[in-house]
Amino acid sequence: MRALIQRVTEAKVEVAGEVLGAIGPGMLVLVCAMAGDGEAEAQALAAKVAKLRIFRDAEDRMNLSVRDAGGSALVVSQFTLAADTSRGNRPGFSSAAPPEEGERLYEAFAGFLAEAGVPVACGRFGADMAVSLVNDGPVTIWIDTAAA
């Protein structure tokens, strides 16, 4: 699985003007299940995200996890993280998990993250979403379980 994590002061996701999820300080987690991924990858990614030390401590160092900092996570499905741009100018997405499997793993990831003690808000899988955020830092981190 892949995730793009942005440390935020606030973030929200809307569908057709309806706010589905909103958080204050924490992280926006854009997540994509790749072909061949399973629950083990969803659980490993959630554990890594929950423990990722990207929040400032009292000495202004990135030394706290989202849990340590008292933050939340807004989890949004993002199949375009599977983009292959190696041939031509139009990205291909064939390495993403099929939609049914992607949705199952997206929901599993969000559940595992919540079980790890992180308050979680979510978007809607497969929906045309409007995501708003204020990136804090900016801090943006890429994680791919295949590379771990």
109 is catalytic: no
Task: Considering the candidates 6, 43, 55, 78, report the single residue annotated as catalytic.
Answer: 78
Of 62, 41, 56, 58, which is closest to residue 143 (Cα–Cα)? 41
79 is catalytic: yes
9 is catalytic: no
Contacts for 111 with CB less than 8 Å, ≥ 6 apart: none
How far, in Å, are 9, 24, 77, 78, 141 from residue 133 at the CA level? 8, 10, 15, 15, 15
Task: Considering the candidates 55, 79, 109, 112, report the single residue annotated as catalytic.
Answer: 79
Catalytic residues: 78-80
